[in-house]
Amino acid sequence: MCHVIVTCRSMLWTLLSIVVAFAELIAFMSADWLIGKAKPSSSEEVDNRTGGSQEPYHPTLGIYGRCTKISHMQLSKRDTLCGPYAENFNEIASGFWQATAIFLAVGIMILCAVAFVSVFTMCVQSIMKKSIFNVCGLLQGIAGLFLILGLILYPAGWGCQKAISYCGHYASAYKLGDCSLGWAFYTAIGGTILTFICAVFSAQAEIATSSDKVQEEIEEGKNLICLL
103: in domain: yes
151: in domain: yes
- For 84-115, the pLDDT digits (tens) are 988 899 999 899 999 999 999 999 999 999 99
Spacing of C-alpha 98 from chain mean position: 16
Nearest of 215, 219, 197 to residue 207 by alpha carbon: 215
What is the per-residue pLDDT for 147?
97
51: in domain: no
**What distance in Å separates the CA atoms of residue 150 and residue 106, rounded to the nearest whole number?**
10
155: in domain: yes
What is the per-residue pLDDT for 126?
72
The domain total for the chain is 1
60: in domain: no
Give the CATH number, domain containing residue 17: 1.20.140.150
3-state secondary structure of 155: helix
150: in domain: yes
Per-position DSSP letters for 79-147, written without gaps between them: EEEEEES-SSGGGSS-HHHHHHHHHHHHHHHHHHHHHHHHHGGGT--EETTEEHHHHHHHHHHHHHHHH
- With a cut of 50, list the residues of the chain below it in pLDDT: 42-53, 73-77
- For 165-184, the pLDDT digits (tens) are 999 899 899 999 899 999 99
Q: What is the span of the domain harbouring residue 16? A: 4-36+90-226
What is the per-residue pLDDT for 41?
52
pTM: 0.84
What is the per-residue pLDDT for 55?
67
What is the per-residue pLDDT for 108?
97
24: in domain: yes
What is the per-residue pLDDT for 75?
43
118: in domain: yes
